[in-house]
Chain A
Amino acid sequence: MSIIDYLLIAVIIILGILALRYMSRQRNGCQGCQHCQYYDGCNIKRKREDDQ
């Protein structure tokens, strides 16, 4: 195994983790992330503000 093999393995593992992360986000739906571009109009934000 040369260095390029290890690099490729690393790339594939990172891609796999990214894909899994994306899938879990899709499954759990919108979480009201504060950095989301729709946060201004987000219902979860309003709920948070209402609770305060």
Chain B
Amino acid sequence: MIFALVGNQNSGKTTLFNQLTGSNQHVGNFPGVTVESKTGEIRGHKGVSVVDLPGIYSLSPYTSEEIVTRDFVMKQHPDGIINIVDATNIERNLYLSIQLIELNIPMVIALNMMDEIRSNAGSIDIALMQKELGVPIVPISASKNEGITELINVAVKTVETRQYPKRQDFCTGAPHRTIHAISHMIEDHAELIRIPPKFVATKIIEGDQPLLKALQLTETEIISIENSIKEMENSLQTDRKAAIADMRYLFIDRLCSETVVKPLESKQHIRTEKIDRILTNKYLAIPIFLIMMGIIFWLTFGVIGGFLSDLLGNAITGFSDIVKSGLEAVRVNAVMVSLIIDGVFAGVGSVLTFIPTIVVLFFFLSLMEDSGYIARVAFVMDKLLRKIGLSGRSFVPMLIGFGCTVPAIMATRTLPSERDRKITIFLTPFMSCSAKLPIYGMFTLAFFPNHRVWVMLFLYLLGILLAIISGLIFTKTVYRGNPAPFIMELPNYRLPSVKSVALLLWDKAKDFLTRAFTVIFIASLIIWVLQTFDLRFNVVAGSAESMLAGIGRFIAPVFQPLGFSDWKASTALITGFMAKEAVISTLAVLTGTNSSNLPQALGQIFTPLAALSYLVFTLIYSPCVAAISTIRREMHSSIAALGVVLFQTAAAWLAAFVVYRLGLLLI
């Protein structure tokens, strides 16, 4: 038995899903659904699963979320629908409900946030509303885990007894006549695609092209449908879409006036207004936001995450040392030891140390998201981002990009439009990620000891500037289209649920662990092979003769115009492709130095101007393997991922070229 969980954004859908399934969730790929949707088995009910579909406001086919949900409900034919309705925002939520009811699938309404209604002296006549809508309604409070058991029982019973919605007609007046006329006309066609004719008729009047196509009507049928819609428009003096929306809201307004006693201004709303008076204040909003992000970054990359990462890093090094001496004690071949220690442990270990940072960063992000603050950030920043053809919602992923590109790209999932999402993914790698800091640190120490902060600031700003330029290029060429309209609900501030946050963190950690032991494991093996053997697969004495060095020498001429043609510099760029920190460790290995005398060694490879050019190149060139694999997964396209690699590398080459040549002119 499969239930589809459908509801508005901010209606507590994810919280309910977590309550229904506990940790028993997995991401499933459903045929016909390109976006990942989560599935879970309902606790205590074997064989009963529920699919968490994207939050939507209507069943029209305008956003990717709507299309996913529509396709799932209309094509996969779930056994039942659980429709979550935010009782504090009932009118707009019911707008979706009555469209779902028209689909004629056994359905239950979970009336969420009833605790807030009651505590603010409001009430809802559930018995009457149930009768009017013709589907069972269960009052719940997802965050307090109230009413969930009953919801499950009612939902299962509704499906088992094949209780279809008792009412199908929510229409009045002129639209009513037109809907009936059209539904008779298309009845046969609708039955062929197993969707109720009444639903199809209403959607066609709304101008639903995909559905009209699926019906495969004849030319004459289409013309006569068009005629009856025009007739309706003339008699109502309005257009088709507005007529249907108005009709639905008229029904809802009447229903609510009979059944809902609206609470006085709720405590939650008053609290929200008070908080907003500060957080979206004309003068305070931006400074507060910047300070908050500063604190989050400081905690994530410095205090908590950094500390835990160091701790984990030391533990891994310690463990690796023990294994190494153990292997040496049993006289394992030196090459084997190197494979295990320098290959697997070093490679996988260096990625594993990032886990605490990622978890801490996502902890803060999920707090921002679940509390409702992210929506305010988008509200405040929209005007700035519109200048490069994006909307306020793209701001947050880009910001995370300064920490790490991987979670930043995952965070673009919250963006409502595919176009915005793609552009944001393309621009995020320009935000200088924290793994590049060791490179900046070492090079500025070696070449610009008196101007370190200025050089770093220059690099960060250059990244942002190039992102803006690229954004303008993208929105003027490839992604011309219209920027996604910025219509967004600003939900009341709510305390995030511990359970949701914990589940999310577990999810992210698991994701990252899997990647460390699959992609990174394989990549580490490959790099190890490349730097240990020469072309005839003889073990090399020093890395200067290895295949990796060979590749470094081969591509070195490409960097001649940028001022650095030493093979060590280009080899370090290749390993930096695996992880940016590796640039410094590779340079150390190749020059046979350690961190204390590396600066002098660098002085022999680069001139100060070439060093600056090298820094600019490392700032922008291809994101690391982990980021690329994330881009590939999130965009479902290897070509797009390759595109990012090529675009970034080309931009890096150009930028470094300009910096180097300008520098030569100035000096």
Chain A residues with CB under 8 A of B344: 12
A41 close to B41 (CB less than 8 A): yes
Q: Which residue of B lies closest to A15 (CB)?
A: B521
Chain B residues with CB under 8 A of A2: 331-333
Q: Decide yes or no whether B177 CB sits under 8 A from chain A.
A: no
Chain A residues with CB under 8 A of B315: none
Q: Decide yes or no whether B514 CB sits under 8 A from chain A.
A: yes
B28 close to A23 (CB less than 8 A): no
B interface residues, tally (CB under 8 Å): 29
Q: How many Å lie between the Cα of A9 and that of B518 in the bound state?
A: 17
Please encode chain A, from 9 to 45, with 1 for each CB lying within 8 Å of some chain B CB and 0 for all others: 1001001100110110010011000000010111110
Partner of B518, one of A1, A22, A29, A47: A22
Which B residues from 478 to 535 make CB contacts under 8 A with A? 514, 517-519, 521-522, 525
Q: Decide yes or no whether A49 CB sits under 8 A from chain B.
A: no
A38 close to B336 (CB less than 8 A): no
A12 close to B330 (CB less than 8 A): no
Which B residues from 1 to 49 make CB contacts under 8 A with A? 1-2, 26, 28-31, 39, 41, 46-49
Q: Knowing A5-B333, A20-B522 touch, does A38 contact B517 (C-beta < 8 A)?
A: no
B339 close to A38 (CB less than 8 A): no
Q: Decide yes or no whether B76 CB sits under 8 A from chain A.
A: yes
A4 close to B39 (CB less than 8 A): no
Q: How many Å lie between the Cα of A5 and that of B48 in the bound state?
A: 50
Chain A residues with CB under 8 A of B525: 12, 16
Q: Knowing A4-B330, A38-B41 touch, does A30 contact B339 (C-beta < 8 A)?
A: no
A5 close to B332 (CB less than 8 A): yes
Say how far B561's CB is from chain A's closest CB, in angstroms. 38
Q: How many Å lie between the Cα of A26 and that of B31 in the bound state?
A: 15
Q: How many Å lie between the Cα of A41 and that of B156 in the bound state?
A: 14
B339 close to A22 (CB less than 8 A): no
Q: Which residue of A lies closest to B521 (CB)?
A: A19
Q: Which residue of B lies closest to A11 (CB)?
A: B340
A41 close to B26 (CB less than 8 A): no
Q: Which residue of A lies closest to B33 (CB)?
A: A43
B49 close to A41 (CB less than 8 A): yes
A19 close to B29 (CB less than 8 A): no
Chain A residues with CB under 8 A of B49: 38, 40-41
Q: How many Å lie between the Cα of A38 and that of B47 in the bound state?
A: 8
Q: How many Å lie between the Cα of A32 and that of B514 in the bound state?
A: 21
Partner of B333, one of A1, A19, A46: A1
B339 close to A12 (CB less than 8 A): yes
Partner of B522, one of A1, A16, A38: A16
Chain B residues with CB under 8 A of A16: 521-522, 525
Q: How many Å lie between the Cα of A46 and that of B519 in the bound state?
A: 33
Q: Knowing A16-B522, A38-B41, A43-B76 touch, does A29 contact B336 (C-beta < 8 A)?
A: no
Chain B residues with CB under 8 A of A30: 28-30
A5 close to B28 (CB less than 8 A): no
A41 close to B1 (CB less than 8 A): yes
B517 close to A9 (CB less than 8 A): no
B519 close to A23 (CB less than 8 A): yes
Say how far A43's CB is from chain B's closest CB, in angstroms. 5
Q: How many Å lie between the Cα of A4 and that of B333 in the bound state?
A: 9
Say how far B5's CB is from chain A's closest CB, in angstroms. 13
Chain B residues with CB under 8 A of A12: 339-340, 344, 525
B340 close to A43 (CB less than 8 A): no
Q: Which residue of A lies closest to B26 (CB)?
A: A38
Q: How many Å lie between the Cα of A20 and that of B307 in the bound state?
A: 33
Chain B residues with CB under 8 A of A19: 517-519, 521-522
Chain B residues with CB under 8 A of A5: 332-333, 336
A41 close to B333 (CB less than 8 A): no
Say how far A16's CB is from chain B's closest CB, in angstroms. 6
Say how far B314's CB is from chain A's closest CB, in angstroms. 25
A47 close to B31 (CB less than 8 A): yes
Chain A residues with CB under 8 A of B2: 41, 43, 46
B330 close to A38 (CB less than 8 A): no
Please encode chain B, from 296 to 334, with 1 for each CB lying within 8 Å of some chain A CB and 0 for all others: 000000000000000000000000000000000011110
Q: Which residue of A lies closest to B28 (CB)?
A: A30
Chain A residues with CB under 8 A of B331: 2, 4
A29 close to B514 (CB less than 8 A): no
The list of the 5 closest CB pairs from A to B, nearest first, reads A29-B29, A41-B49, A40-B47, A19-B518, A30-B29
Given A41-B39, A43-B2, 16 additional A-B pairs, CB 8 A: A5-B332, A5-B333, A8-B336, A9-B336, A12-B344, A12-B525, A19-B518, A19-B519, A20-B522, A23-B518, A29-B28, A38-B41, A41-B2, A41-B49, A42-B28, A46-B76
A-B pairs with beta carbons under 8 Å apart, 12 shown: A2-B331, A12-B339, A16-B522, A20-B518, A26-B518, A29-B28, A40-B47, A42-B28, A43-B2, A43-B30, A43-B31, A47-B31
